[in-house]
Structure 1
Amino acid sequence: MQVTETLNDGLKRAYKLMLTAQELDDKVNAKLLEAQPEVEMKGFRKGKVPMALLKKQFGDRIMGEAMQESIDEAMGKHFEDSGDRPALQPQIQMIDGENWKQGDDVTLEMSYEALPEIPDVDLKKVKLEKMVVKAGDAEIKDALESLAETAQDFVDRKKGSKAKDGDQVVIDFVGKVDGEAFEGGAAEDYPLALGSGSFIPGFEEQLVGVKAGEEKDVTVTFPEDYQAEQLAGKEAVFSCTVKAVKEPKAAKIDDELAQKFGAESLDALKGQVAERLEAEYAGAARAVMKRALLDALDKAVSFDLPPSLVDAEAKQIAHQLWHEEHPEVHDHNHGEIEPSDEHNKLAERRVKLGLLLAELGQKAEVEVTDAEMTQAIMNQARQYPGQERQFFEFVQQNADMQQQLRAPIFEDKVVDYAFELATVKDKEVKKDALEKAVEALDDE
């Protein structure tokens, strides 16, 4: 196949591909000859069907396959010889396709945007600051108090006290719809934490202010999407007898609390809490340092960007931000959203850094292992309880989904590689300074 360049402007490329009628016919004949020994046809022994008959019977289909193979081979050879890497799938168009007939030469046009040459970056010259925060006594104390609240007990309020939001009421209740009790609508000595949202919407709020020994009818309407269809959308009256009103009481911060959370002693629990807090601080500090690295790389190099990639990224950014501003819209049945200058600027940065990180990762031979992919799929599958197996199968059959899961893992590994080579200086700071730095990430 003859390949002739017709456009070379920046990153834009176009070529004319010429496949002669003789080349195409030779390829068709070769494919038919290869298949002939296995072909069976009425009136002929296996493998003895004449070529002329084979060509008449299967020629059109084989010709399509031969044409596609020729195009694929020509494209592969072109990219191997030229060293070009297309930013997106090349566009192939058949010239005079409507007028083409068997026996004519095949002329095609191939166009694409090439990925740019990425300049080398000396990561050793990149200087970064790593924020280090130690877990102080105040932070450890706050964390222990939060743990004590989760392990709280409820104790009886003074006789005659009214129930408050956050209190626990112990109740007997019977629910009725249209005056008839329904299955699952009754219980005795049921401990209900007011404000927990564990009952039908509107139920708990009506018990705020009740006293022990009081009887109260609670009227609610079951949601339209309630799991029990016979109750969905129905109004129900629950006759409640309040047997106790209890207030929350946080557990004491002592060895007993520590043992509830699997630690041998309070000192051991404090150590575990400090480690967890410092791990959280380290994660936040990494995010701050990653932004600093990306800013440094953005300034360090400059190269042309494929317009198609920038345009696609800008449209995606605009679309995503539009939905964040209109959370009530759950579908995509809306007009086209035009990217703003700000969207385009952000898209240029993302495309530039994406290409640069990909180049750094390729040169450093960074790879995402099967184990890392499996872990990522498992983490994602947890969002679909009961359907984990179906999710695994979906990912296995969906290359785009695999890439969505692989991309952030690859990026993080490249970032860690860059951190290892860069000059990183630790800087011990207070928790507030780290929090402000993290908040600034969202403002940019």
Structure 2
Amino acid sequence: MATAVETLDKLERRLTISFPIADVQSEVEKRLKLRARTAKAPGFRPGKVPMKMVAAQHGYQVENEVLNDKVGQAFNAAANENKLRVAGYPRIEPKSGEGVAEGSLAFDATFEIYPEVVVGDLSSAEVEQVKAEVSDAEIDKTIDILRKQRVHFHVKGEQGAHGDGGDLSAKNGDRATLDFVGKIDGVEFAGGKAEDFAFVLGEGRMLPEFEAATLGLRSGESKTFPLSFPADYHGKDVAGKTAEFTVTLKKLEWAHLPEVDAEFAKSLGVDDGDLVKMRADIKENLEREVKGRVKAKTKDSVMDALVKAVEFDVPKSLVEQDGQRLAEMTRQDMAQRGMNVADVPFPPELFTVQAERRVRLGLILAELVKANNLQATAEQIKAQVEDFAQSYEDPQQVVKYYFSDRNRLAEVEALVLEENVVNYVLGKSKVTDKVLPFDELMGNNA
């Protein structure tokens, strides 16, 4: 049986559940008899162990299992009877003293319920619909990047099929191989010395003073110069200090970028080497990438608008659960990147703000989908999978990959559902078009 539901806070509730001790004892005896059929003990054949020994060996565990089952069943029955939508898990505490019937066990169950989520008029909600275009300039930039990815280096001064590199002094774009040693107050420091160290000038890999000192050197030449480490330098032992470096240039190579010709096109997968087709393929890939990023930014704007427009209290238990999930996901991600996180704490509290937003949006989206029949259809899921597959060499293999696993399809379904919500909100809200420059959209401003 259960008492009336008591309201403790906005979403927090409590009720007392109880049941006869005799019911627990009866169930414990029944389960111990089942255990006895297969129980093993030294000196006894399987299934012939005396009940007293079975009870001594398994009684505590079985009693806990029965209590957990009884409490769970009683709580679920009470929740259903009172039509409660329980959020998270109840906190169960034994109850004794006044109000507990003789021969009964009683427990207080404290829990939260789901809030009532009402998505009202969205006509005043402000949403930015992001737009961006792929022009010839973006295609040219992409081709330059692809050329740099296929760069070949040749020793300066040595005549080859592409020339000798001209000026023998180091300049931006050249790859320098050198020895260096750094000292602070005349003493070498850890990490301040290397041999046959190679880097490309102008890429910003080294501190500006180091690159500036290397520029203009020729193979075999050395230079000594002061270098001031920034106060926030990752090497704490040298951060904020000034060192004296000596560099000796051992080899200098110039960069040869491949010509944009038929061979270059073939290296990008255009079998016949057609440059027009190559540009068309690059444009198609860029447009696909732009489409994805534009949709993501528009979705973020829609989600921000929904969070502002729909107010309700969020169950703390769900936020705590999601915070723990985010903490574990972060730990796994860092471990997969090769970081040692064995002794690194990941307090769920660090993720509370993010978790609260995720839970809030999840409840809003669930209400929108339910109230407006925005579920993902089979046709939409299939179309989304086929869209994913277009960027792969064998699209049909990718389609099979998704449709062979229900979990993968569930992920696609979730994406389609979100897109349905975004389109619904765009049709109901105050939408402003925002044109983003290509570089800003792609994060290439630097």
Please give the range of the TM-score, normalised by the shorter of the 2 chains. 0.5 to 0.7
In the other structure, the counterpart of 2:87 is: 87
Checking the alignment, whether the CA contact within 8 Å between 2:323 and 2:348 is kept in structure 1 is no
Q: What is the aligned counterpart of 1:273 among 255, 275, 282?
A: 282
CA distance in 2, matches of 1:238, 1:246: 17
CA distance in 2, matches of 1:418, 1:427: 18
In the other structure, the counterpart of 2:142 is: 143
CA distance in 2, matches of 1:115, 1:126: 25
In the other structure, the counterpart of 2:157 is: none
Are 1:355 and 2:378 counterparts? no
Change in CA separation of 1:410 and 1:360 when aligned onto 2, cut-off 3 Å:
farther
In the other structure, the counterpart of 2:64 is: 64
Deviation for aligned residue 1:210:
2.6
CA distance in 2, matches of 1:47, 1:252: 82
Give the residue type in structure 1 aligned to 2:108.
E
In the other structure, the counterpart of 2:421 is: 418
Deviation for aligned residue 1:294:
1.9
Checking the alignment, whether the CA contact within 8 Å between 2:122 and 2:309 is kept in structure 1 is no
Deviation for aligned residue 1:66:
1.8
Checking the alignment, whether the CA contact within 8 Å between 2:318 and 2:359 is kept in structure 1 is yes
Deviation for aligned residue 1:151:
3.7
How do 1:252-331 and structure 2 match up within 5 A? 252-263=259-270, 264-298=273-307, 301-309=310-318
CA deviation profile, 1:19-76 (whole Å, cap 9, x unmatched): 3221111112222333344446688876566656755665444322221221122233
Give the residue type in structure 2 aligned to 1:167.
D
Deviation for aligned residue 1:428:
8.2
CA deviation profile, 1:344-385 (whole Å, cap 9, x unmatched): 7x876543212222455677666999xx9xxxxxxxxxxxxx
Checking the alignment, whether the CA contact within 8 Å between 2:7 and 2:14 is kept in structure 1 is yes
Give the residue type in structure 2 aligned to 1:270.
R
Change in CA separation of 1:294 and 1:408 when aligned onto 2, cut-off 3 Å:
farther
CA distance in 1, matches of 2:365, 2:205: 47
CA deviation profile, 1:390-441 (whole Å, cap 9, x unmatched): xxxxxxxxxxxxx9x9998675332123245556599987543x777899xx
Give the residue type in structure 2 aligned to 1:288.
K
Q: CA RMSD in A?
A: 5.7
In the other structure, the counterpart of 2:175 is: 168
In the other structure, the counterpart of 1:387 is: none
Q: Describe the SS at the equivalent of 1:90.
A: strand
Change in CA separation of 1:43 and 1:165 when aligned onto 2, cut-off 3 Å:
closer
Deviation for aligned residue 1:167:
1.2
Deviation for aligned residue 1:203:
9.5
In the other structure, the counterpart of 2:160 is: none
Paired residues, number: 356
Q: Describe the SS at the equivalent of 2:4.
A: strand
Are 1:112 and 2:119 counterparts? no
Checking the alignment, whether the CA contact within 8 Å between 2:174 and 2:255 is kept in structure 1 is yes
Change in CA separation of 1:420 and 1:123 when aligned onto 2, cut-off 3 Å:
farther
CA distance in 2, matches of 1:80, 1:332: 42
Change in CA separation of 1:407 and 1:195 when aligned onto 2, cut-off 3 Å:
farther
CA distance in 1, matches of 2:281, 2:433: 21
Are 1:77 and 2:77 counterparts? yes
- Any stretches of 5+ residues in structure 2 without a counterpart? 154-162, 182-193, 226-245, 327-340, 385-406
CA distance in 1, matches of 2:146, 2:40: 77
CA distance in 2, matches of 1:334, 1:418: 33
Change in CA separation of 1:76 and 1:414 when aligned onto 2, cut-off 3 Å:
same
Give the residue type in structure 2 aligned to 1:413.
V
Checking the alignment, whether the CA contact within 8 Å between 2:40 and 2:46 is kept in structure 1 is yes
CA deviation profile, 1:184-203 (whole Å, cap 9, x unmatched): x999xx9864467999xx99
The share of aligned pairs that are identical, in percent, is 24
TM-score by length of 2: 0.58
CA distance in 2, matches of 1:143, 1:42: 75
In the other structure, the counterpart of 1:399 is: none
In the other structure, the counterpart of 1:4 is: 3
In the other structure, the counterpart of 2:17 is: 17
CA distance in 1, matches of 2:22, 2:32: 15
Give the residue type in structure 2 aligned to 1:210.
L
Q: Describe the SS at the equivalent of 1:166.
A: coil
CA distance in 2, matches of 1:406, 1:24: 44
Deviation for aligned residue 1:211:
1.9
In the other structure, the counterpart of 2:216 is: 209
CA distance in 1, matches of 2:28, 2:290: 66
Give the residue type in structure 2 aligned to 1:135.
V
CA distance in 2, matches of 1:123, 1:411: 23
Q: Describe the SS at the equivalent of 1:156.
A: coil
Give the residue type in structure 2 aligned to 1:258.
A
CA distance in 2, matches of 1:166, 1:290: 40
Deviation for aligned residue 1:286:
0.7
CA distance in 2, matches of 1:406, 1:128: 29
Deviation for aligned residue 1:109:
0.9
Change in CA separation of 1:412 and 1:122 when aligned onto 2, cut-off 3 Å:
farther
Checking the alignment, whether the CA contact within 8 Å between 2:175 and 2:198 is kept in structure 1 is yes
Change in CA separation of 1:311 and 1:262 when aligned onto 2, cut-off 3 Å:
closer
TM-score by length of 1: 0.58
Which has the higher mean CA deviation after the structures are superposed, 190-199 or 353-362? 190-199
- Any stretches of 5+ residues in structure 1 without a counterpart? 176-184, 220-236, 318-329, 373-402, 440-444
Which has the higher mean CA deviation after the structures are superposed, 119-128 or 82-91? 119-128
Checking the alignment, whether the CA contact within 8 Å between 1:21 and 1:106 is kept in structure 2 is yes
Give the residue type in structure 2 aligned to 1:417.
N
Q: Describe the SS at the equivalent of 2:109.
A: strand
Give the residue type in structure 1 aligned to 2:365.
L
Change in CA separation of 1:75 and 1:56 when aligned onto 2, cut-off 3 Å:
same
CA distance in 2, matches of 1:285, 1:62: 57
Change in CA separation of 1:253 and 1:26 when aligned onto 2, cut-off 3 Å:
same
Change in CA separation of 1:29 and 1:308 when aligned onto 2, cut-off 3 Å:
closer
